[in-house]
Each structure stands twice: as C-alpha cells, then as structure tokens.
Amino acid sequence: EEAAATIVERLKDVAAYEGEDAVFECRLSQETAQDAQWFLGDVPLQSNEMNEIRVQGTRHSLILRKVTLEDCGSITFKVGQRSSAA
C-alpha cells in the first residue's frame, strides 16, 4: 500500500487581468498514482483549449488561458484526502 502523497507546496492566490493566463502550481511529497483533480468552484477541470493541466514529477500545475471574469473564484487542487485552495 503506497503512502498517501501530501501537499508540500500549497497553491498561492493568483491575480490576473482579463485576457491573461493564470498559473496555479503545487507540489506533492512524492510522485503518486493517486488521481489528482483541479476544480474551479465545484466544477472539475479537464485539460482542453482553455485549461492546461500539467504533471512534472511531483509538481502539478494548472494554466487557465485568457481568463475572463467568469473564471473568478476558488481554484482547488485535490489528491486523495488532501486539498489546497487559492
């Protein structure tokens, strides 16, 4: 049984102007097979032309492209039982 990864570098609040990209990053204690998931409010985010979700080792990042006022809100990163929000 693999030990659950913990979030060692939490999300930081990001301010962006309309039309800019907003980048959120957090780092886990270990690479994990557990599903990590990003949310905007209660909505789960997928990687698509508006959002880019990247995993590089223990670093997980979310890029919201060309943000609008509708993108304003809480971003949450969840892995297992742990979460971080900004």
**Distance from the Cα of residue 59 to its chain's centroid:** 10
Strands (E), the chain: 7-9, 22-28, 36-40, 43-44, 51-56, 59-64, 75-79, 82-85
Can you give the residue ranges of every domain in the chain?
7-85
What integer is the mean pLDDT of 38-52? 94
List, for residues 54-82, the tens digit of each pLDDT value: 999 999 999 999 999 888 889 999 998 89
* Nearest-angstrom CA–CA distance, 51 and 83: 19
pTM score, two decimals? Answer: 0.89
Quote the pLDDT of residue 3: 74
Report whether CATH 2.60.40.10 matches the domain 7-85: yes
Per the prediction, the chain carries an average pLDDT of: 91
Per-residue pLDDT tens digits for 19-29: 999 999 999 99
